[in-house]
Amino acid sequence: MDFLISEEQIMLKKEMMTFAKNHLNDKDSMETFSKDMWQAICDFGLLGVTVSEEYGGLGESYLTAALMFEGLGYACHNNGFIFVINNHIWVSQNLIYLYGNKHLKDKYLAIMVAGQKIGAIAITEAEAGSDAMNMATHAEDKGDYYVLNGTKMFISNGPIADIFIVFAVTSEDSFKRYTAFVVEKDFEGFQVCEDIKKMGLGACPTSEIVMDNCKVPKENVLGTFNMGANILTAALEWERCYEFAPHVGVMQRIMERCIEHANSRKQFSRFIGDNQAISHKIADMQVSIELSRLMLYKIAWLKDQGKSAFMETSIFKLYISENYIKTCRDALQIFGAYGYTCEYDIERELRDALACSIYSGTNEMQKNTIYNMIRSRAL
Ligand SMILES: Cc1cc2nc3c(=O)[nH]c(=O)nc-3n(C[C@H](O)[C@H](O)[C@H](O)COP(=O)(O)OP(=O)(O)OC[C@H]3O[C@@H](n4cnc5c(N)ncnc54)[C@H](O)[C@@H]3O)c2cc1C
């Protein structure tokens, strides 16, 4: 393993932080998607960070992307907006880039990299959450096109997205049951439902989507027909790395606020940080930031080598989400009643953080995955 960070990579991370600090912190955009901030991030060029220049991207490595997303999480306080960016890049545009045929790449990539069209991924259904493979949405071959029927739940970016990666059942064969389709919101029979109100990540709108005899052209099959399970696995790997990369930066930002508060707030004539009960919470934060960062860089390095990181991304997702939530809870405790007020913005950080133990596969499911993988290696 070798991930020596170059001067250029450090500079790109700093540029990302300066840009995010100055352009992605509109306080009025915490609860709604901001078109102005979206335009700003498009102009900055982040959307195409790992996409080749042929499609308007920057062609950077996955390690550089990891550093930039860590910087984004540190400097942009709007976790919901970051979630919009991540869903667009890593589990929509990125899948077209990696698995799309020439038609799909030519049609969608440049406009997604430029941010003119927003992407989303649609896996979950009302009766198929953790058991996603039990999905009921199905596609029928009608000769020139496919017809999709089904309803997908909790689709991040749903209300603002133009292009959806939709997974559907296409075969009875248990090993080759699913296919991924690229579906446009304007396709006949496609409907986006109302916003689902959530406790956090307010800037990222979420909705149900309904496909009622939705007509999808044959060329919009993503990857190989009936081989959607492979794409689903890959999507989870990307999302468990890069949707969680910004959390390293968020934890760093929150820890710095805690240090500042613990060393300025006095009770009993001394700084509260002089109490071990407080300082140990901050020490725990540093330990989890350091270990999460190492795991993130390792995964990015593996991806730069073209290797699979399924086990590593499960471990990273599980570890960082538990510690990100703990960091927010501890920060609230360190700030006392001030932390509980909306003014200090810690309670919002906690509300945003809580979702991460559910999305990308719940933490319980990560433990199942990790155990199943080590068991199959051992036996
Ligand atoms: C903020 C947010 C954004 C999301 N965005 C998207 C999106 O863009 N696209 C998309 O397709 N989906 C999205 N989802 C849905 C997400 O993937 C699912 O919520 C998740 O997979 C869990 O499914 P569920 O909510 O139905 O919970 P369930 O599957 O009903 O699980 C409920 C509880 O039971 C536990 N459980 C279930 N089965 C087992 C088991 N075998 N062993 C141990 N414990 C188990 C779970 O861990 C959980 O604690 C999003 C969810 C959230 C919260």
- Going by C-alpha positions, the residue among 244, 258, 256, 261 that lies closest to residue 323 is 244
| 202: Cβ contacts below 8 Å, ≥ 6 apart | 30, 31, 32, 80
Give the total residue count for the chain.
379
Query: What values do phi and psi take at 137, rounded to 5?
Result: -55, 130
DSSP letter (8 states) at residue 300: H
Mutate which of 359, 371, 372 for ligand 1? The one with the most ligand atoms within 8 Å of its CB, which is: 359
Instruction: Check residue 174 and give its pLDDT.
Output: 78
Whether 2 has a pLDDT exceeding 80, the answer reads: no
Rounded Cα gap, residues 289 and 337, in angstroms: 25
Q: Is 365 in the pocket of ligand 1 (CB under 6 A)?
A: yes
Q: Is 366 in the pocket of ligand 1 (CB under 6 A)?
A: no
Task: Average the pLDDT over 22-40 and give the result.
Answer: 95
Task: Average the pLDDT over 128-135 and give the result.
Answer: 96
Q: In angstroms, what is the span from residue 128 Cα to ligand 1's centroid?
A: 9
pLDDT category of residue 304 using cuts at 50, 70 and 90: very high
Ligand 1, atom 51, lies closest to the CA of 359
C-alpha 320, offset from chain centre: 13
- DSSP-assigned beta bridge partners for residue 169: 138, 178
Tokens 């540029």 -> residue: 15
pLDDT category of residue 378 using cuts at 50, 70 and 90: confident
Tokens 């805690």 -> residue: 258
**Contact between residue 375 and residue 339 where contact means Cβ atoms under 8 Å apart:** no
Rounded Cα gap, residues 346 and 323, in angstroms: 15
Whether 371 has a pLDDT exceeding 80, the answer reads: yes
DSSP E strands, 264-308: 266-267, 270-271
Instruction: Check residue 175 and give its pLDDT.
Output: 75
Task: Average the pLDDT over 14-22 and give the result.
Answer: 98
Ligand 1, atom 44, lies closest to the CA of 364
Phi-psi label, residue 276: left if phi above 0, alpha if psi -120 to 50, beta otherwise: alpha
Rounded Cα gap, residues 71 and 127, in angstroms: 37
Whether 3 has a pLDDT exceeding 80, the answer reads: no
**Contact between residue 72 and residue 18 where contact means Cβ atoms under 8 Å apart:** no
Task: Average the pLDDT over 289-309 and give the result.
Answer: 97
Instruction: Check residue 249 and give its pLDDT.
Output: 98
DSSP reduced 3-state for 193: strand
Q: In angstroms, what is the span from residue 358 Cα to ligand 1's centroid?
A: 5
Q: Could you report the per-residue pLDDT of 56-70, keeping only the tens digit for each?
A: 999 999 999 999 999
**Contact between residue 137 and residue 152 where contact means Cβ atoms under 8 Å apart:** yes
Q: Could you report the per-residue pLDDT of 221-271, keeping only the tens digit for each?
A: 999 999 999 999 999 999 999 999 999 999 999 999 999 999 999 999 999
Q: Is 167 in the pocket of ligand 1 (CB under 6 A)?
A: no
Q: Is 34 in the pocket of ligand 1 (CB under 6 A)?
A: no
Q: In angstroms, what is the span from residue 338 Cα to ligand 1's centroid?
A: 32
Task: Average the pLDDT over 180-199 and give the result.
Answer: 97
DSSP reduced 3-state for 122: strand
Q: What's the mean pLDDT when you consider all of the chain? A: 97
Mutate which of 87, 127, 154, 231 for ligand 1? The one with the most ligand atoms within 8 Å of its CB, which is: 154
Q: Is 135 in the pocket of ligand 1 (CB under 6 A)?
A: no
Q: Is 129 in the pocket of ligand 1 (CB under 6 A)?
A: yes
Q: Is 122 in the pocket of ligand 1 (CB under 6 A)?
A: yes
Helix (H) or strand (E) holding 182: strand 178-184
Paired tokens of 99: 């698995």
Rounded Cα gap, residues 92 and 71, in angstroms: 22
Q: Is 151 in the pocket of ligand 1 (CB under 6 A)?
A: no
* Active-site hit among 60, 239, 347, 349: 239
Q: Could you report the per-residue pLDDT of 315-340, keeping only the tens digit for each?
A: 999 999 999 999 999 999 999 999 99
Mutate which of 79, 155, 196, 358 for ligand 1? The one with the most ligand atoms within 8 Å of its CB, which is: 358
Q: Rounded to whole angstroms, what are the CA distances from 54 to 9, 50, 110, 290, 306?
A: 22, 12, 8, 36, 20
54 is a catalytic site residue: no
Ligand 1, atom 16, lies closest to the CA of 359
